[in-house]
Amino acid sequence: MQSTAFLTEKSFFRESRLARQQKGLTLIELVVAVAIIGILASIGIPSFIAWVQNNKTRATAESVLAGMQYARSEAVKRNTNVFFELQPASDTGSLWIVGCNTVTAACPEKIQKRSAAESAAGATFSFNSTIGTSKIIFDQFGRPANSGQITVDNTALSASDSRPLRIILDNGGSASLCDTKLSAPALGACP
């Protein structure tokens, strides 16, 4: 009988030890985890949306910069005047067009164009130019007829969240991209 009582006590302790080892989560632990995830999401989602919109601004600015560089290279390659025209609000949906200033059989009116949807679908941008015209003409040496700056800004963001980018075109035809919100010693800051 002692052995039976001993086995019963042993099995009792084994059962209570297994009962203490949980498998899964309690309802309170789940509610706390969901609350923490909700708080973190409410903090992170607005900055994530601003980050996505600023990436669309960068994609559009880089597309405009690439178009300018392409127009310059086509002018040198074709040994004729080639234009780059910015069309941010056109009915055709194109963002920019590169074409020959004087149309010939070897130099068509439109060499290449890019639509706004290719760089940043669903975003609305404002373009502020100090160049004076939406058409920049590059001569056969790759020099522009006019120089200046084009600032690309996303109108979907507030001024504090937006990161406008500036394209600077110098007299030699070199175009560069800079961030208007960065201070002068930082890499990528506007001069």
Tell me the pairing of strands 135-138 and 125-129.
unpaired
- On whether the CB atoms of residues 99 and 87 are closer than 8 A, the answer is no
What mean pLDDT comes out for the span 100-126?
79
Six-digit token string for 23 = 């498998």
Judge if pTM exceeds 0.85: no
Domains in the chain and their CATH numbers? 26-179 (3.55.40.10)
Q: Which residue has the higher pLDDT, 178 or 18?
A: 178
| Residue linked to tokens 């639509």 | 115
User: So what's the pLDDT on residue 104?
Assistant: 86
More confident call, 19 vs 30? 30
What average pLDDT does this structure show over 70-75? 94
Sign of CA dihedral 125, 128, 134, 138: negative
For residue 1, what pLDDT is reported?
Answer: 47
Q: Quick one: pLDDT band at residue 20, thresholds 50, 70, 90? A: low
Q: Are strands 112-115 and 125-129 parallel, antiparallel or unpaired?
A: unpaired
Return the SS3 of 131.
Answer: coil
Burial of 75 (0-12, 13-18, 19+ CB in 10 A): buried
Is the pLDDT assigned to residue 132 strictly greater than 60? yes
Q: What's the chain's average pLDDT?
A: 82
Backbone angle region of 173, left / alpha / beta, with phi > 0 → left and psi within -120 to 50 → alpha: left
DSSP H or E run through 175: strand 175-179
